[in-house]
A and B are shown apart, each in its own frame.
Chain A
Amino acid sequence: MVSGIDIVLQGVLLGGLYGLFAAGLSLIFGVMRLVNLAHGDLIVLAAFVILALVNGLGLPLPLAVVVAAVAMFVVGYVLQYVVLNRTLGRDILPPLLLTFGLSIFIQNGLLEAFTADSRRLSAGDLETASIALGGGLAVGVVPLMTFATAVAVIVALNQVFYRTAMGRAFRAVSDDPVTAQLMGIDNRRLFALAMGIAMVVATIAALFLGVRANFDPSIGPARLIFAFEAVIIGGLGSLWGTLAGGIVLGVAQTVGASISPEWQLLAGHLAFLAVLLVRPRGFFPRAID
């Protein structure tokens, strides 16, 4: 019984990480209907940027994350403004193929720069610290922080979306880009801002990715798949739904892993396909796409 609760609890906390992976993807899709196939690789890129700042420049981890977030914001802004904006349109083939090409480029670029070795971000004693909940249950501090951060990120994004002028512009462009332009909104700049913000979220995700487990240049696509599954399970267009989707995926994976380690990934994918069968639009759909 206790072990059952433990498995679900760990799964929920793992879902926080997947929610973080997915929040950026969900944001971009919500604003400009772009599915960024390089999202996972951009998260891994952010993790390597943090690593390089810590190891290369000797920055303390929190400062390195802030610097990396600023750098990734610029990367996202420029990428969207210079490259991706040119491909947005009715046809979804060009942006999809372009981001797939970008994914291959980033993966192999990282491989060339950092080799295929597994790396890890060091958070000192925090990594192994845990809080006892009584009854033999304990949760790690890092997983707990991951989950809390995921909630905080989603609260913050929702505040931006519903309380600021920029958020209003985001929603307007999302609903009707042509009319939004007539109202004086510069779509290109706005899309670039959205991508920049998504990359900041990706950097936060990268921090927890790197502290919780090993990473290497090849793991991006798998993170993209988890993020994507969380978005679909949760329902398009809802950030809280995305977190819920991450939790469903996380629980399915830990339950699968408790049966056999080989079943962890398979159980997650099967849960995704099962949701697709019974609720093709996810649990909390908002957008109609």
Chain B
Amino acid sequence: MRDPVTAATAPHFRIEVRTRLSTAAAVAGLCVVAALVALPWYAPRTALKDMFFVLTLIGLAQCWNLLAGYAGILSIGQQAYVGAGAYVLFALSIFLDLDPLLSIPLAGALAALLAIPTAKIIFRLNGAYLAVGTWVVAEVFRLVCAQIKSLGGGTGTSLPTDVTSGAASVRFLAETMGVRAPVARDILAYWLALTFAVGIVAACYVVLRSRQGLALAAIRDNEAASESIGIDRARTKFWVYCLASLGAGLIGALVFFQTARISPAAAYSVTDFTAYVLFVVVIGGVGTIEGPIVGALVLYLLRDQLASLGAWYLMLLGLLAVAAMLFFPRGLWGSLAERFDIHLFSTRRRLVMPRAEPSEDLQPLPHMIQEEH
């Protein structure tokens, strides 16, 4: 990937992206993923459901982080694509009887297509107004879905069992693993969640390491200056928005395949798909890949311990987010990374100057030697 200009003038400096720590982290990450793939063989079904929650949250949070942390698009309406993905999945399953392995990716893709015309309209707004604009779009999606009588209108509908537990892929899984169909469905949903979460994290990493990633970092650091060095800000923002919407659509389709029950209020829930996601990114650290992962684990622990408190639990989350913004605006991981200079995902480019030869440095200059005589 070395371009001719640097190659020609080479040995003065080189650009290093990988660090020893990031290599170690990559190896450890692969081990964790391998352990997670094997989870259905050694963990109980409740563990799968908990991990499903964490993984989908990581996926959504990573997408939102790409939007807000890197492209400067403050969306509080990504539930639009979660809901759209879910509704398209239900339509494909109920009307066309597609297998979930096919309909979930397709639903995500179709939801992402909706992002194209939406972006054209809402990108006329800026900053904080864009944020509320995205929310309006999500409301429009919700109200339109409530009008679709064949999908249950305002009250919603359920997935028929022949596309959930009775789907060909689920039955195949049940037979090969020797489990009941509902268990097989949970396992399939879990593996898909793992695939999406790892895929989204990997996609974010690849994007940030690419030329486009440099453009994003430049936009994040200074919008006006980024344009002056030739970055097409509007185009970069547009494709990032579409990419993040694809992620949200995929996760939305998957979440509602797992619950098998949909309603406009649930599919376009601001609390579930925006408030939690914002919390995760804020607590973990905006603008880092590690942040959303850390944040998702924190939210899982909080939910596990405190969800029974109901409204108090949500008040606490709101208060924690406020406190984090005031005192730790870089989040848990962001603060740690800054303090100790730890970067597990090597997206930074460092300039490495060749180290001067030690012998040259230490040898006394010739005229000094002469003077000693």
Do they bind each other? Answer: yes
Contact surface of A with B, Cβ cutoff 8 Å:
34-35, 37, 83, 86-87, 92-98, 100-109, 111-112, 221, 224-225, 228-229, 232, 262, 265-266, 269-270, 272-273, 276-277, 280, 289
Please give me the residue from chain A that is nearest to B317 by CB atom.
A104
B160 interfacial contact with A, CB 8 Å: no
> A108 is contacted by which of B68, B122, B311 (Cβ under 8 Å)?
B311
Once the chains bind, are A112 and B311 in contact (CB under 8 Å)? Answer: yes
Given contacts A108-B312, A225-B132, contact A97 B321 (CB under 8 A): yes
Once the chains bind, are A86 and B136 in contact (CB under 8 Å)? Answer: no
Once the chains bind, are A35 and B131 in contact (CB under 8 Å)? Answer: yes
Give the chain A neighbours of B121 by CB distance below 8 A.
273, 276-277
Give the chain B neighbours of A273 by CB distance below 8 A.
121, 136-137, 140
For the complex formed, measure the closest distance between the CB of B205 and the CB atoms of chain A, giving whole angstroms. Answer: 22
Secondary structure at the B interface, as helix, strand, loop or mixed, is helix
Once the chains bind, are A93 and B68 in contact (CB under 8 Å)? Answer: yes
Once the chains bind, are A96 and B128 in contact (CB under 8 Å)? Answer: yes
User: Which of B104-112, B141-149, B292-300 makes up part of the contact surface?
Assistant: B141-149
For the complex formed, measure the closest distance between the CB of A253 and the CB atoms of chain B, giving whole angstroms. Answer: 12
B127 interfacial contact with A, CB 8 Å: yes
For the complex formed, measure the closest distance between the CB of B121 and the CB atoms of chain A, giving whole angstroms. Answer: 6
Given contacts A93-B74, A94-B329, A225-B139, contact A102 B315 (CB under 8 A): no
Please give me the residue from chain A that is nearest to B131 by CB atom.
A96
Once the chains bind, are B126 and A289 in contact (CB under 8 Å)? Answer: yes
Given contacts A100-B321, A105-B322, contact A276 B133 (CB under 8 A): yes
Chain B CB count within 10 A is highest, among A225, A265, A269, for A269
Query: Roughly how many angstroms separate A101 CA and B76 CA in the complex, as a whole number?
Result: 12
Query: Roughly how many angstroms separate A108 CA and B314 CA in the complex, as a whole number?
Result: 7
Once the chains bind, are B325 and A108 in contact (CB under 8 Å)? Answer: no
Contacts A108-B318, A262-B147 supplied; 12 other A-B pairs, CB < 8 Å: A37-B76, A83-B322, A94-B325, A98-B326, A101-B318, A101-B320, A101-B322, A104-B317, A104-B321, A266-B147, A269-B136, A269-B139
For the complex formed, measure the closest distance between the CB of A102 and the CB atoms of chain B, giving whole angstroms. Answer: 6
Given contacts A101-B321, A104-B275, A112-B311, contact A87 B326 (CB under 8 A): yes
Residue pairs across A and B with Cβ atoms less than 8 A apart, 25 shown, are A35-B129, A35-B131, A37-B76, A37-B132, A92-B128, A94-B325, A97-B282, A98-B326, A100-B275, A100-B278, A101-B319, A104-B271, A104-B318, A108-B312, A108-B318, A112-B311, A112-B315, A232-B133, A265-B143, A266-B144, A266-B147, A273-B136, A273-B140, A276-B122, A289-B126
For the complex formed, measure the closest distance between the CB of B130 and the CB atoms of chain A, giving whole angstroms. Answer: 10
For the complex formed, measure the closest distance between the CB of B330 and the CB atoms of chain A, giving whole angstroms. Answer: 11
Contact surface of B with A, Cβ cutoff 8 Å:
68, 74, 76, 121-122, 124-129, 131-133, 135-137, 139-140, 143-144, 146-147, 154, 270-271, 275, 278-279, 282, 286, 310-312, 314-315, 317-322, 325-326, 329
Once the chains bind, are B325 and A87 in contact (CB under 8 Å)? Answer: yes
Chain A CB count within 10 A is highest, among B133, B314, B315, for B315
Please give me the residue from chain A that is nearest to B143 by CB atom.
A266
Give the chain A neighbours of B321 by CB distance below 8 A.
97-98, 100-101, 104
Once the chains bind, are B128 and A104 in contact (CB under 8 Å)? Answer: no
Query: Roughly how many angstroms separate A102 CA and B326 CA in the complex, as a whole number?
Result: 12
Given contacts A93-B286, A102-B318, contact A269 B143 (CB under 8 A): yes
Given contacts A35-B132, A104-B315, A108-B311, contact A92 B127 (CB under 8 A): yes
Given contacts A97-B321, A225-B132, contact A262 B125 (CB under 8 A): no
Query: Roughly how many angstroms separate A256 CA and B318 CA in the complex, as a whole number?
Result: 35
Give the chain A neighbours of B129 by CB distance below 8 A.
35, 228, 232
> A112 is contacted by which of B131, B312, B326 (Cβ under 8 Å)?
B312
For the complex formed, measure the closest distance between the CB of A45 and the CB atoms of chain B, giving whole angstroms. Answer: 13
Give the chain B neighbours of A34 by CB distance below 8 A.
128
Give the chain B neighbours of A83 by CB distance below 8 A.
322, 326
